[in-house]
Chains A and B, each alone.
Chain A
Amino acid sequence: MKLSSISALALSTALLAAGAAQAETLSVVCSNEQSWCDLMAQNFKIDTGIDVAMVRKSTGEVLAQIRAEAGNPKVDVWWGGTGDPHLIAANEGLSTPSGVDTSGLLGWAQNMADMSEGRAIGVHVGLLGMMYNTEVLAEKGLPAPACWRDLAKPEYKGEVTVSNPQSSGTAYTQLATLVQLFGEDEAFALLADIGANVNQHTKSGSAPGKMAARGETTIAVGFMHDMVNLKKQGFPVEIVSPCEGTGYEVGAVSVINGTPHMEAAKAWVEYVISPEAQSRGLEVGVFNIPSHPESATDPDAPDMTSVKLIDYDFATYGASETRERLLERWGADVKAKGGNFEE
């Protein structure tokens, strides 16, 4: 047969369609650390008997994917990651209320559910903070920073790394926090001053912390639970809770609108907000604050009572208009004015 090679190609393609067999499994996309994702999926399988397929993606990737898949989702549940994208998904109708009872949770977790009409439920809180590499700081003979304003001091020129709010949710939380602390105009003036010291605006929110840990930069801004993890790994770092007060993110869980596995999805949501499931995070170095008051926490982990917190306004600063306006102003006032300092 003359077309044997082509038909072989066509047939093998069809053969592969066989591999596409879909079984009844709950499909979960997870935006937490990989090990925490794996552990939760494994425990859920053991405790409920429901089969789970799990993949880890960053929040931006998940949002782009569920937008593209809207109407015919291939994912049932989205667990973890910062709350803002969860709220955007809820606003765009990409997620659906799960109807799970949230009354036993801490206030901020319930608040998240109220804001999204039950579509996103809070699972953890991460506090924003600063970190410095003790070895590099000593080598350069610099004082340790204690406040947001310290970051603008001229002696830190080229020593500070923050992420870019246009690509990173962490940096947007920092931007919104400073605006809520100091008022918009003063916050942007401060950010521009800090910008003059910044050696790199990283794309990823967790990158500055990792760079400071390895001594690639001196001072980093990021979430404190990531920093605790780095410190416990053995890096020479110290964590600072800014003296003026700091903001936080609320991680969430959402059920994707149009899921064919609503019952299993609901079981997942109930499971991840239970104290038994949340307490196990300590086994794999999860140091954020769980949303159930009875969940166990680590003594080294930041807790909300010992840190000066602002009353973070998620409704205002999570809204798309505020977000776009602030980011545009950041581009004009901070990024365009120097900053991006290369040694």
Chain B
Amino acid sequence: MQRTAKLWLLVGLAAYALLPWYMIPGGIWSPDWLATWTTDARPALFWALGGRPWLLAPLVGLLGAGAALVLLRGLAQARALVASGALGLVLMAAQGLAILGNRARFDALEGLTQPGMGAGALLVAAGLLFILTTGISGLGRGRGDAFITGLVGAIVALVGIFVFYPMSFILIRAFELRGGAGLGLSEFLPRFLSPEIWSIACLLGTGYCGAAMNSLLLGLATATGTTVMGLAFALIFTRTAFPAKRFLRVLTILPIITPPFVIGLVLILLFGRSGTITEFFADAFGWEKTRWLYGFWGVWLAQMLSFTPIAFLVLIGVVEGVNPSVEEASQTLDANRWQTFRFVSLPLMRPGLANAFLLGFIESLADFGNPLVLGGNFNVLSTEIYFAIVGTVADPAKAAILSLTLLSMTLGAFLAQRLWLGKKNYATVTGKGDSGQHAGLNPALRWGCYALALPWAVFTLVLYALIMFGSFVKLWGYDHTLTLEHYKRAFGIIVRNGVHLTGAAWDSFLTTLTIAAIAAPLTAAVGLATAYLLVRQKFAGKDAFEFSTMLSFAIPGTVIGVAYVMAFNFPPIELTGTGLILIIVFIFRNMPVGVRGGIAAMSQLDRSLDEASITLGANSATTLRRVILPLMGPAILAALTYSFVRAITSVSAVIFLVSARYNMATSFIVGRVENGEFGIAIAYAAVLIVTMLLAILALQLLIGRRKLRRADRLQTS
């Protein structure tokens, strides 16, 4: 404990005395700031001595910790470390929140200003935080393991700063009274409970449902559908001898890597009133051409296409992980294959099913692109929130109230999932040798899976063939002359005096890839670290911790976007207009998928593995690295893939955060779709799809399969 605390104290002190405290133009990695080290890029120590005495605040914590390390021993030292770390952090946050970029928050501090915090402040805060958590471990919490308490502390701090802090800016709007009369419940309750949100008239056949009811029904339908479909695909992969598995695998990930709007556009071209398939049935059978696609069923279909892969990614690891020995045991006990599946395998897959359902439900609630294109007059919360913010009469209070509605639904789904899973143990990957074979599916179930999954796969294939086709024709749907013009306009290259990227899309394409490539590993790291804590460690407030990490996923992207602009446009943390804010928003928006996937995979790994490792003298960090991580291959792959892909395809969160310098591909595509230039939008989407496909294949090669047992065998006879 002492060594760790000393190390972080040194880091904190060095940053305080040497590194520039505030943000500097050019950033910390360009050596420019060395030249201005005595002026703008001064470290906190010089600022504090030269006119900004409030910067002495963090030093109080550091000096306190130093004194504790020198003077005290044992429990007293640990207590003093906790106190000084906490004091330092509180004082540092207080000065940052009290004295803003262009004004001070309190009249007493009139006239004081300071820029946003920079590298020095970041490291001092990290030093203080880890002094605090090391102190907590010294008190015997977290099994006295400084790594565990440090990890919990870091994740709590990150979620606090990048989820709760910005969200507080927007949620407080829900309680604002009209005309700037302060805050209160008198307007919140009637608006929150209004029929505009909760009406169930459509179920009774008397009119339209409220947006919340629509979202709820759609979410349940989508979650059920994607979980069943995902399970069918996962079973085909692991429990049948289906010949074209690899091909099927590619197909199942295609929808997840498709930029928003594209699936909606293709569906319109197929099933819209003038769609190809609609025309065919109208001509062949004289069916009336209708606009059924614009509404619940259209959105549901698009969401099924988009989110089945997520369920599949969660379920494949879980289905694979079920120990064949228990299935064999079941069959030895004279159960047939259906009974084995129904009463042994399926219950063991519960964590996967529950997580897949939860993700499907939340994804459906937060989905923005599909309801926008196909919703027709079917209003859901996510689009209502968007238009409450950007509509002709901006109503942030309404947006905040609708966001709260959405959040409460997520909370409900989360609690229901906990209830269903209960306190049972699902560990089936143990250290004990197992040499069993997975039981194959009984024929009825196998054909059931085929009947469900294969037409779906064919349907997906047709859609993607059409997308490719659409990018090569002049005017999709009308003029099918083949042309490369769209690609030329988007990705033109001139080789003359060097290589010039003249296409309109290059700029946003390269920015998007860079940002996604940086965000993906960070997202996976934060997500899996959180999952590790949740599954493997016990600490106070674990349930609240778990829910808080899920929050950012449930909040609609638009709300997060506006909240980030409100919170991070001013000191103490000034990030708008940078690429960093995009990376951060992706990390904290996509982290929950890493968490869910990690939890599902980790709850299958028997604790005896960790215990054996610890008994053999490894600490928890080594155990995590050498034992748990290698067994987590599919979960890591899923987290990396998902966060990379989501960083490229997400749209609602980034609309407000993209800046002229850091523009994203989706925002470019939306612009073209708005203008009716489907050709170039689809060509761009096709290039993105191919790029992401290559990236995913590379990741799969890199991470490879985990080896759970000597060979994954399947009982075929």
- Report A's interface with B, CB cutoff 8 A: 1-3, 5-7, 9-10, 12-22, 25, 27-29, 33-35, 38, 52-58, 60-61, 63-65, 67-69, 71-72, 74-75, 84, 136, 165-169, 172, 199-201, 203-204, 206, 209-210, 213-217, 226, 229-230, 233-236, 320, 323-324, 327, 340, 342-343
In the complex, the chain A residue whose C-beta lies closest to that of B3 is A2
> Which chain B residues numbered 1 to 46 have a C-beta less than 8 Å away from chain A?
4, 7-8, 23, 25-30
Asked if A340 contacts B377 (CB within 8 A), the reply is yes
The dominant DSSP class at the B interface is loop
Chain A binder among B53-61, B222-230, B663-671: B663-671
Q: Is B577 an interface residue (CB 8 A)?
A: yes
Asked if A166 contacts B391 (CB within 8 A), the reply is yes
In the complex, the chain A residue whose C-beta lies closest to that of B574 is A72
Chain A binder among B122-130, B320-328, B444-452: B122-130
Q: A22: which B residues are within 8 A, CB to CB? A: 25, 577-578
- Within 8 Å by CB of B504, from A7, A25, A35, A64, lies A35
Asked if B29 contacts A327 (CB within 8 A), the reply is no
In the complex, the chain B residue whose C-beta lies closest to that of A7 is B126
Asked if B392 contacts A217 (CB within 8 A), the reply is no
- Within 8 Å by CB of A27, from B26, B391, B574, B660, lies B660
Q: Is B144 an interface residue (CB 8 A)?
A: no
Q: B394: which A residues are within 8 A, CB to CB? A: 60, 63-64, 67
- Within 8 Å by CB of B376, from A15, A172, A215, A342, lies A342
Q: A165: which B residues are within 8 A, CB to CB? A: 392
Chain B 508-527, CB within 8 Å of chain A: the 1/0 string? 00000000001000100110
Asked if B126 contacts A68 (CB within 8 A), the reply is no
Asked if A19 contacts B27 (CB within 8 A), the reply is yes
Q: Is B231 an interface residue (CB 8 A)?
A: no
In the complex, the chain A residue whose C-beta lies closest to that of B269 is A214
Q: A323: which B residues are within 8 A, CB to CB? A: 392-393
In the complex, the chain B residue whose C-beta lies closest to that of A170 is B392
- 7 A-B pairs (CB sep. < 8 Å): A6-B126, A6-B151, A10-B123, A17-B119, A18-B29, A167-B391, A234-B478
- Within 8 Å by CB of A54, from B28, B518, B660, lies B660
- Within 8 Å by CB of A21, from B26, B272, B377, lies B26
Asked if A1 contacts B7 (CB within 8 A), the reply is yes
A200 to B298, CA, bound (A): 14
In the complex, the chain A residue whose C-beta lies closest to that of B151 is A6
Asked if B295 contacts A10 (CB within 8 A), the reply is no
Asked if A16 contacts B274 (CB within 8 A), the reply is no
In the complex, the chain A residue whose C-beta lies closest to that of B288 is A343
Q: B372: which A residues are within 8 A, CB to CB? A: 203
Q: Could you tell me the distance in whole angstroms from the C-beta of A281 to the nearest C-beta in chain B?
A: 13
In the complex, the chain A residue whose C-beta lies closest to that of B566 is A68
Known: A60-B390, A216-B272. A72 touches B569 (CB 8 A): yes
Asked if B150 contacts A2 (CB within 8 A), the reply is yes
Q: Could you tell me the distance in whole angstroms from the C-beta of B126 to the nearest C-beta in chain A?
A: 5
Q: Could you tell me the distance in whole angstroms from the C-beta of B160 to the nearest C-beta in chain A?
A: 15
Q: Is B306 an interface residue (CB 8 A)?
A: no
Q: A19: which B residues are within 8 A, CB to CB? A: 27, 578-580
Q: B389: which A residues are within 8 A, CB to CB? A: 60, 64
Q: A6: which B residues are within 8 A, CB to CB? A: 126, 130, 150-151, 154
Known: A19-B579, A203-B383. A342 touches B291 (CB 8 A): yes
Q: Could you tell me the distance in whole angstroms from the C-beta of B181 to the nearest C-beta in chain A?
A: 18
Chain B 555-594, CB within 8 Å of chain A: the 1/0 string? 0000000100110011000111111100110000000000
Q: Is B186 an interface residue (CB 8 A)?
A: no
A112 to B579, CA, bound (A): 36
Asked if B4 contacts A3 (CB within 8 A), the reply is yes
Known: A34-B671, A342-B377. A234 touches B576 (CB 8 A): no
Asked if A20 contacts B569 (CB within 8 A), the reply is no
Q: B393: which A residues are within 8 A, CB to CB? A: 166, 320, 323-324, 327
Chain A binder among B232-240, B493-501, B604-612, B672-680: B672-680
A18 to B25, CA, bound (A): 9
- Within 8 Å by CB of A61, from B118, B123, B390, B575, lies B390
